[in-house]
Amino acid sequence: MRLAAMGILHETNTFSPNPTDDDAFKHSTIGGGPGVLLGEQVWEVYGHTGNTVAGFRDAASLPGLEVVPIAFASTHPGGTFPAATFERIATGQLERLAAAGPFDGVLLAQHGAMVAEGFPDADAEFIRRVRGVVGSSVPIGNVMDTHGNVSPAQVHGADLTLLWQTNPHVDCRDRGLAVARLVAQAVRGEIQPVQAIVNPPLAANILAQNTADEPMRGLLAQARSLIETTPGLLDISIGEGFPYADVPTMGMAVVAVADGDPAIAQRAAETIAGAIWEQRQAFDPRGVPVAEAVLLERGDTHGPVVLLDVGDNMGAGTPGDSTFILEGLLAARRTGFLLTVHDPAAVVTCVAAGVSAQVTLSVGGKFDGLHGTPQIVTGRVRILSDGHFQAYGIVHGGHKEFDGGITAVVDTAGGSTLVLTSLPVMTMSLDQHYSLGIDPVRYDLVVAKGVMSPQPAYGPIASRLVYVDTPGISTADPRRLGHQHRLRPMFPFEQDTQWSVTTR
Amino acid sequence: MTRSHPNVLVAGFSHELNSFIPGVSTAEVLAVAGPTVVGADLFGPSVGIDLELHAVAAVAAELGVTLLPSIYMWGGVGPVIEDSVYDRLRQRILHDAQLERERLDGVLLCLHGAMATQSVDDTEGDILAAVRAIVGPDVPIVATFDMHTHGTARMAASADALIGYRTCPHTDYYDTGARAMRLLARAMAGEVRPTVSMRKLRMTASAEHHDTNHGPMVEVQGLARELEGTPGILDVTVFATQPWMDVPELGWSVVVTTDGQPTLGQAAADRLGRAIWARREAFRVPKVPLHAAIERARASSGIPVVLSDSADTTTGGGNGDGNLLLAALLRDPRPDDSVALALTDAAAVDQCMAAGIGAEVTLQVGGSLTPDFFSPITLTGRVITLADGHYDSELPVKPRDVGGIAVVAHDGIQVVLTREKASQLDASIYRRAGIWPERVRILQAKSAGGFRAAFDRFSADTMYLDTPGPCDSDLTRLPFERIDRPLWPFDADLDEPWAGAGPDPA
């Protein structure tokens, strides 16, 4: 049995002014190299990671299965794709799929929150085109991100839809392997997958999306127990939704897969969607204000206080140069903090000055005027690095190779440390610091940009993780973003939204 | 002689000779390794944290002893000290002893025991004898020493007690200083009359097995502690000797300090001396040829594999410019090599700094400082990290500065170039250079034995490379000229631990 493996995996923040264009795919800061991979390159770059496609490769060792890597495109989150970029990548993959065929099945690694000019649900468009190449009789299995904006068009465009069910994402590879097993069973005629999707009108605040915490923890447990107790029910996925996309499909979803009987899938999806709706208030929490967060003390604890810069969540497509927390720390005259800023201009200054040189820098707040103003910092250049690092241990999304571009470490006159990167690399691995000779445990306060993605790395060393309610295009409160195209009414925008699984 | 607040002259110097390093340790060279301090600065932070002098100060304060600090020099390890450096130290100490003679109740010297100058082989014996001549026989003199002391008859004859470290890697600087100060206080109070008995052995051994956490030294220290349980014995110290010094009287010694019972002391020293002698074969170091070591590391199921380039031990006198491991790796590289190794080369660091971060460079690295053993080799690679040289080491806990760091990557081989030599007693230099040592397959430690306490915590396997160098564990390969013979292992079939001792009991 021959299966094709492919996909375009991208999380698009439509509020970002920085388009995900051809340049953004030249160099993926979370892939450590080119964003567009063809043929065997896919295995070479992603085979050893924790990504969905690594699970596809794992499937190649199952008896009787041949998995052919067609192509895979992925890069760091960013703004809407220009039409030409989407067309170039999609067409490239589809042509290779057609040329390498025929196949018995297709494995897709998508995200579910990809947006291109002309295609607000670009994942659905791509899946539609894949179906066009292979025809209706070839099973398509698709794995997407926990917080994709999962739509009926995506789900029904494929035969099997599984979402990652962890956030931070640590089960991507497992879900890749799982979908491959199901596709293989479908090809052999052992199962006849049918799907159902229910979308409650609910945008989940990112702060409520950690699957280890309530309300997601309990909902996932309920879904698991439903799978275990319902004959014929193969899988349930809860889609948390990606609020930073101004598209009609933005919001939560429940996808159920059953063997043969559509009613089983429908009932399961409705049950979980109803439970989500009942807990909608829990999906709308608040973060800690900056002025309060910057005063937190490590005290006599085992590790630093880790401040999560929610409004500059690079994993949601922000520029990574927010200075709201830095400004607060400087105003509070804090010492002993460690903070990472994406600021190529400041790096250029440091490189020109050289190791051990004193520098005065205007740090951050430069990309879009939405993430604070530049802060003046004086200090001494301790390290210059090429910015490549490999992540070990459990990493959000299973990423392995990172590239922050040329990176400078500056010890400030105030007794703190700034890590300045040339590329917008996500702060989700302590190996970023280790590769710079920094031991983050020694600091009183460590700032990570993101909400979920830093947690697998920073959680174990933190005496406390704090969601800081910073402004920005990944602000925790979706009401601040000014959506134009979303569903109406929708919670929490319209607090009195009425909805019921039975009265839809 | 018993006063309620006795006065104690405190002074000292620490340097460890390696006779196979070219050059002379001048004042400038020594200043790189550590400070020379006078007066109250002896107890300040610049000497290092938690060292003997700090313990001396703390115990003196506790016991109401007044310290009269003179001068102290921390000089690290290297070639012979320039005569003028020692002359100045000696003059200052003797001047202060002379000046304070009338009110002195005791003398405490913090020494190393392996410092030699261009013309004095035994500076410690020399200073002890000279101070004794000034203060007379009734003022107790207690001195502290490193485990790598080459104990001499003159030291034993001139001091009332010789107190040495009991650990290698040395983690008991503070305890040693405290024990010495307490013993001196008891002697000044007339509670004890410390008396030194020494047994010199006709054996020497490379530093790999001086490690007090593994191997034969564990037992030796255990026997010493057992002897200390004998009534009348105040302290038992084993001097394992810096093996790379080419001086007369080289060899192990056992020192027993008793409360005025030299016969008991001599018997105890002889007993422990025989026990060490009986274990001498266990002190030989199993070395692995370079090629075999690399292959074994590449095949290892666990990582990292630590390769000790002990012949270039940077804390044993090596300059850290030994590049034979790097040369072997570059001769036959593998695409999946994952290696971290440090190398001293100031010019190469400067070239990397000039080339800039991310630059492709072709450098001549290593071999420039110790040409008798090594010569420069060509390294091409990419400059992936540039850093200043400041970091904190774990052993001892100490701020260090290697003057500048550049990391050049040749595929997976990461070469950490340092302007000054870097201690590899622990892996701090690698961490400082942005390399997490747990994550590489092959990790070099230019340390003979001291590295194990830190590296064993995470290493999967450890091998001693069969490389030549100024700290070669195969001592017979080094050009010794002045040592007293017979001496094991040079005279491998020697059957008496000292003249007249008789052979091992069968």
Asked if the Cβ–Cβ distance from B357 to A385 is below 8 Å, we say yes
Three-class DSSP category at B214: coil
Asked if the Cβ–Cβ distance from A406 to B358 is below 8 Å, we say yes
Dihedral sign, Cα of residue B94, residue B100, residue B103, residue B105: negative
Give A 386-415 residues with CB within 8 A of chain B: 386, 388, 390, 392, 406
Report which of A470, A456, A390 is spatially closest to residue A428, judged by C-alpha positions: A456
In this predicted structure, the answer to whether residue B431 has a pLDDT above a threshold of 80 is yes
Expressed in angstroms, the distance from the first to the final Cα of chain B is 51
Task: State how far the Cα of A474 lies from the Cα of A370, in Å rounded to an integer.
Answer: 10
pLDDT by residue (tens digit) across A107-129? 999 999 999 999 999 999 999 99
- Helix B83-100 to helix B123-135 angle, to the nearest 10 degrees? 20
Backbone region of residue B379 per phi and psi (left: phi > 0; alpha: psi in -120 to 50; beta: other values): beta
Task: State how far the Cα of B446 lies from the Cα of B208, in Å rounded to an integer.
Answer: 11
Task: State how far the Cα of B104 lies from the Cα of B98, in Å rounded to an integer.
Answer: 10
Asked if the Cβ–Cβ distance from B385 to A351 is below 8 Å, we say no
Three-class DSSP category at B9: strand
Task: State how far the Cα of B188 lies from the Cα of B186, in Å rounded to an integer.
Answer: 5
Three-class DSSP category at A314: helix
Q: What is the pLDDT of residue B404?
A: 97
Asked if the Cβ–Cβ distance from B404 to A435 is below 8 Å, we say no
Task: State how far the Cα of B74 lies from the Cα of B156, in Å rounded to an integer.
Answer: 23
Task: State how far the Cα of A301 lies from the Cα of A441, in Å rounded to an integer.
Answer: 11
- Interface pTM, i.e. ipTM: 0.75
Q: What is the pLDDT of residue A28?
A: 81
User: What average pLDDT score do residues B158-184 get?
Assistant: 95
Rg (CA), chain B: 23
3-state secondary structure B56-124: HHHHHHHHCCEEEEEEEEEEEEECCECHHHHHHHHHHHHHHHHHHHHHCCEEEEEECCECCECCCCCHH
CB contact at 8 A, A331 and A292: no
Confidence of residue B316 (pLDDT cuts 50, 70, 90): confident
Tokens linked to B46: 């610049």
Task: State how far the Cα of A56 lies from the Cα of A14, in Å rounded to an integer.
Answer: 29
- Helix A52-59 to helix A172-187 angle, to the nearest 10 degrees? 40
* Interface with B, mutate which of A44, A349, A355 (most B CBs under 10 A): A355
3-state secondary structure B12-28: EEEEEECCCCCCCECHH
Task: State how far the Cα of A361 lies from the Cα of A350, in Å rounded to an integer.
Answer: 9
Cβ-proximal residues to A281 (8 Å cutoff; 6+ apart), any chain: none
Q: What is the pLDDT of residue A423?
A: 93
> What count of CB pairs under 8 Å joins A to B?
58
CB contact A357 to B (< 8 Å): no
Task: State how far the Cα of A109 lies from the Cα of A131, in Å rounded to an integer.
Answer: 15
pLDDT by residue (tens digit) across B7-55? 999 999 999 999 998 899 999 888 877 889 999 999 988 777 678 999 9
Residues in chain A: 504
Tokens linked to B123: 């500076």
Three-class DSSP category at B283: helix
Lowest mean pLDDT among B278-287, B389-398, B424-433: B389-398
CB contact at 8 A, B142 and B187: yes
- The overall average pLDDT reported for chain B is 94
Q: What is the DSSP string of B226-272?
A: HHTTSTTEEEEEEE---TT---TT-S-EEEEEEES-HHHHHHHHHHH
Nearest to A383 among B358, B382, B386 (CB): B386
Q: What is the pLDDT of residue B216?
A: 95
Task: State how far the Cα of A130 lies from the Cα of A117, in Å rounded to an integer.
Answer: 19
Three-class DSSP category at B351: helix
Nearest to A351 among B356, B384, B435 (CB): B356
Nearest to A384 among B357, B432, B439 (CB): B357
Preceding amide of A478 cis, omega within 30: no
Q: What predicted TM-score, i.e. pTM, was given to this entire model?
A: 0.79
Lowest mean pLDDT among A194-208, B311-325, B388-402: B388-402
User: What average pLDDT score do residues B243-268 get?
Assistant: 97
Nearest to A355 among B353, B384, B439 (CB): B353
Report which of A494, A336, A314, A325 is spatially closest to residue A421, judged by C-alpha positions: A314
Task: State how far the Cα of A115 lies from the Cα of A67, in Å rounded to an integer.
Answer: 28
User: CA B219, B224, B229, B234: dihedral to nearest 10 degrees?
Assistant: -160
Residues of chain B with Cβ-Cβ distance to A392 below 8 Å are: 436, 439
* Interface with B, mutate which of A48, A383, A439 (most B CBs under 10 A): A383
Tokens linked to B481: 């000229």
Q: What is the pLDDT of residue B395?
A: 74
Report which of B218, B233, B215 is spatially closest to residue B269, judged by C-alpha positions: B233
Task: State how far the Cα of B433 lies from the Cα of A436, in Å rounded to an integer.
Answer: 7
Q: What is the pLDDT of residue A397?
A: 73
Dihedral sign, Cα of residue A80, residue A82, residue A87, residue A89: negative
Confidence of residue B153 (pLDDT cuts 50, 70, 90): very high
Confidence of residue B2 (pLDDT cuts 50, 70, 90): low
Burial A376-413 (b: 16+ CB within 10 A, else e): ebebbbbbbbbbbbbbeebbbbbbbbbbbbbbbbbbbe
pLDDT in tens, chain A (504 residues): 999 999 999 999 999 988 999 999 998 877 777 899 999 999 999 998 999 999 999 999 999 999 999 999 999 889 999 999 999 999 999 999 999 999 999 999 999 999 999 999 999 999 999 999 999 999 999 999 999 999 999 999 999 999 999 998 999 999 999 999 999 999 999 999 999 999 999 999 999 999 999 999 999 999 999 999 999 999 999 999 999 999 999 999 999 999 999 999 999 999 999 999 999 999 999 899 999 999 999 988 889 999 999 999 988 888 999 999 999 999 999 999 999 999 999 999 999 999 999 999 999 999 998 999 999 999 999 999 999 999 887 787 778 889 999 999 999 988 899 999 999 998 999 999 999 999 999 999 999 999 888 998 999 999 999 999 999 988 988 898 899 999 999 999 999 999 998 644
Task: State how far the Cα of A118 lies from the Cα of A120, in Å rounded to an integer.
Answer: 6
Query: Which amino acid makes up residue B266?
Result: Q
CB contact at 8 A, B379 and B345: no
- Domains, chain B, ranges and CATH? 7-283 (3.40.50.2300), 290-472 (no CATH)
User: CA B31, B35, B39, B42: dihedral to nearest 10 degrees?
Assistant: -150
CB contact A431 to B (< 8 Å): yes
Asked if the Cβ–Cβ distance from A437 to B383 is below 8 Å, we say no
Query: Which amino acid makes up residue A172?
Result: C
Nearest to A386 among B384, B433, B439 (CB): B384
